[in-house]
Amino acid sequence: MKVTPLIWISFGLVSLTISVMLAGYSLVDLVPNRDRQVFEYRRDLAEALAVQYSALAERNQIETIQFAMETLAKRNHEISSLALLQKDGGIVAQVGPHAQVWVQPLGAQSTLQSLQVPIFSGDQPWGVLQLAFRESEGSGIDRFLSDPWIRFLAFVSVMGFFGYLFFMKRTLRQLDPSGIVPTRVKAALDALTQGVAMIDMRDVIILANDSFSRAVNKPVTSLIGSDLGTLGWKSMTPTDSLMVYPWTRAIMDRRSLDNIPLIMNLSDGEQRKFIVNTVPIMDDGSTVRGALVSFHDVTELDRANSQLKDANSELEASRVQIMQKNQELEATNTNLHVEMGQRKKAEAEKEKLYQQLMNASRQAGMADVASSVLHNVGNVLNSINVSTDTLLKTLKKPMVGDVCRIASMFNEHQDNLQDFLTVDPKGKQIPSYLGLVAESLSGSHQTIQGELDSLVKKVDHIKQVIMSQQDIARAGNIREPASAEDLMEQAVVMALPEPEKYHIQIVREYSPVPMMMTDRHQVLQVLVNLITNAKNAMVEHSGSSRRLTLRIGVVSAQTCAQFEVIDTGIGVKPEHLPRLFAQGFTTRKAGHGLGLHSAAIVANNLGGTLHGQSAGEGCGATFTLELPLVVVEDAA
């Protein structure tokens, strides 16, 4: 959980408040000492009892003293024992095990648990009254928590924290954050013709330019701190109510929303139309902090379009009237040639429809081939993009600039280069650093070489896909030795180069398969399509486990090589299984229904089969490609 600055400020203010109270407690004794109050109370009680018991003792009313002591011990449970002693130590009266619980204070002084009061007969000491009090029950923590001062501090801490937090939130809402915006930035915003407003997560305006202020007919100072949704926005359609504002939707969905039309009712009754564009504002941690909203006032443009539409309507009405007059003048001539015209028209329409049918048939065939090429090439381009990103990141490493700086240092010390490399602290570090630079450049060179080799293979695969689609009905004409394991691994690199990005676990179950003669590019085309579909199915599925199982083996009495792609994705409904490989059929919103159809054709051209299975929706799917196993030795 991230602690916000408001919480830290509130915690600091509470700490300051408690510190001031503790300072007052320590320096000026603002709070009375509880133990001292108890001691004074017990001392006053003992002195009062001593006066009473001394008067009764002078009249020799010992039984009365004993009864009074017992009554006092019963009413005051804090008293453990009490005794009235004469000067010579003789006990006049006592209650409780006084001899066992009494602890004689040092120096004949009273303590909180042991109090003694001297009794005088005239000016001569007569005896002493001793009272022993029980210690407070409970642990030290209980006594600490039962202290009213501690409970008061705890109450002030909790209530002060929430009070300060509420106060700071209310105060910060009234502050104008535009004051921290640099003057040049504010001037640039005010120079824009479009209205611009910046809002926080609560749709509260924290920054607005002059164009927006003029558009809504309110000063900037009154806009700052107000809710953007309270300015009187309405939907373009009168029957639709504006349930969620576009800026609120953009913050919730964490994506931009463009070209949203809204209407605002101004205070003078005028309506203005705006085109609203919203971009969410995110921090370095990809957390949405607010949104930047632009308002393009198209009221005047809308009015001009309306006037132009009215003028066009009037012109169209005039044209219709002229055409009606012309039709009346030519009615007689038209009736004479109606039969001939109808016949010519029917023949022309027949010819036109025939041409349209031919063109549509030709375009459908061209579109089918082009879509298949684009679909298969697109799968490879995804992995090409990953390789390109890796090359760019490798080339952007700052080692070249460091070498240039070292060369500059050598030029500066070329007269005393030996002393510079052996004595100067910076120069002594250059040889070891050059070793690190050489090691880094060597690693970068290997990375670049590997990615370039991968790009060459992928571009060659694209070329072969395009060439193979030129005659899709004919089997591949390039048969070469290929390893089943290499084909599967190369397809994984093309279709799923970063499985950890999608939290996908790849399980490989490879059985030995001999080197086989086949068209490797067409096989790659099918495998890349199957792995891509498996990845999409698992990404779209809400299940917690994403596991892609790849199997290779030999089946059908050692005559077929089998490739299996098993996913834990969204699965296939039973009623959709018979249509999986039909052209145009897809269950994805962004799908085109060309991948599996094209893959099935390629498998058939290779002399193999492609089929899919699924236990139902949410149960994953298994696609199996079986190809004739033509061993390299047999082919030779």
Q: Measure the CA–CA gap between 25 and 232, rounded to whole angstroms.
A: 56
Q: Measure the CA–CA gap between 125 and 629, rounded to whole angstroms.
A: 125
Domain segments of the chain as ranges = 5-31+142-173, 34-135, 177-304, 374-467, 475-635
pLDDT for 127 equals: 85
CA-nearest of 396, 290, 7, 389 to 168 is 7
The 3-class secondary structure across 480-492, one letter per residue, is EEECHHHHHHHHH
How many other β-carbons are positioned within 10 Å of the β-carbon of residue 298? 15
Tell me which of 247-251, 335-339, 534-538 is least confident.
335-339
pLDDT for 144 equals: 61
DSSP 578: G
Instruction: Give how far the C-alpha of residue 422 lies from the chain's centroid of Cα atoms, to the nearest Å.
Output: 53
State the distance between the two ends of the chain, measured CA to CA, in whole angstroms: 68
H/E element holding 129?
strand 124-133
Residues 6+ apart with CB under 8 A from 579: 585
- 185, 170 contact by CB (below 8 A): no
CATH superfamily of 177-304: PAS domain (3.30.450.20)
CA-nearest of 234, 246, 238 to 276 is 246
Is 60 exceeded by the pLDDT of residue 613? Answer: yes
Is 70 exceeded by the pLDDT of residue 235? Answer: yes
Q: Measure the CA–CA gap between 87 and 128, rounded to whole angstroms.
A: 7
Averaging pLDDT over each range in 179-193, 290-304, 383-397, which range is the top one?
Answer: 290-304
Question: Tokens representing 186?
Answer: 């504010």
Confidence band of 358 (pLDDT split at 50, 70, 90) = very low
Q: Measure the CA–CA gap between 31 and 46, rounded to whole angstroms.
A: 25
- What confidence tens digit (pLDDT) does each residue in 37-76 have? 778 888 888 888 888 888 887 788 888 888 888 888 888 8
**Cα-Cα-Cα-Cα dihedral sign, residues 516, 521, 525, 527:** positive
Looking at the domain 34-135, which fold is it? Answer: Beta-Lactamase (3.30.450)
Ramachandran angles phi, psi of 191, nearest 5°: -80, -15
Strand order in the sheet with 505-510: 505-510, 547-555, 560-567, 621-628, 609-613
Q: β-strands 288-297, 621-628: how paired?
A: unpaired
Burial class (CB in 10 A: 0-12, 13-18, 19+), 208: buried
pLDDT for 363 equals: 54
Domains 34-135 and 177-304 fall in the same CATH topology:
yes
Confidence band of 87 (pLDDT split at 50, 70, 90) = confident
DSSP assignment string, 100-121: HH--PPGGG---SSEEEEEEEE
Question: Tokens representing 332?
Answer: 């007689």
Residues 6+ apart with CB under 8 A from 199: 205, 206, 228, 247, 290, 291, 293
Confidence band of 379 (pLDDT split at 50, 70, 90) = low
More confident site: 199 or 334: 199
H/E element holding 277?
strand 271-282
**Could you give the angle at the alpha carbon of 190 between the alpha carbons of 185 and 195, nearest 5°?**
115
- What confidence tens digit (pLDDT) does each residue in 437-474 have? 777 777 777 777 777 777 777 777 676 656 655 544 34
How many other β-carbons are positioned within 10 Å of the β-carbon of residue 183? 7
H/E element holding 272?
strand 271-282
Per-residue b or e along 548-575, where b marks 16 or more CB atoms closer than 10 Å to that residue's CB: bbbbbebeeeeebbbbbbbbbbbbbeee
Three-state DSSP at 369 gives: helix
Q: Measure the CA–CA gap between 261 and 275, rounded to whole angstroms.
A: 5
CATH superfamily of 475-635: Histidine kinase-like ATPase, C-terminal domain (3.30.565.10)
Residues 6+ apart with CB under 8 A from 314: none
Give me the mean pLDDT over the 472-489 stretch: 75
- What confidence tens digit (pLDDT) does each residue in 555-606 have? 877 789 999 999 999 999 999 888 888 887 887 776 777 788 889 999 999 9
Helix runs in 396-496, H state only: 399-412, 417-422, 425-469, 484-495
Q: Measure the CA–CA gap between 34 and 19, rounded to whole angstroms.
A: 21
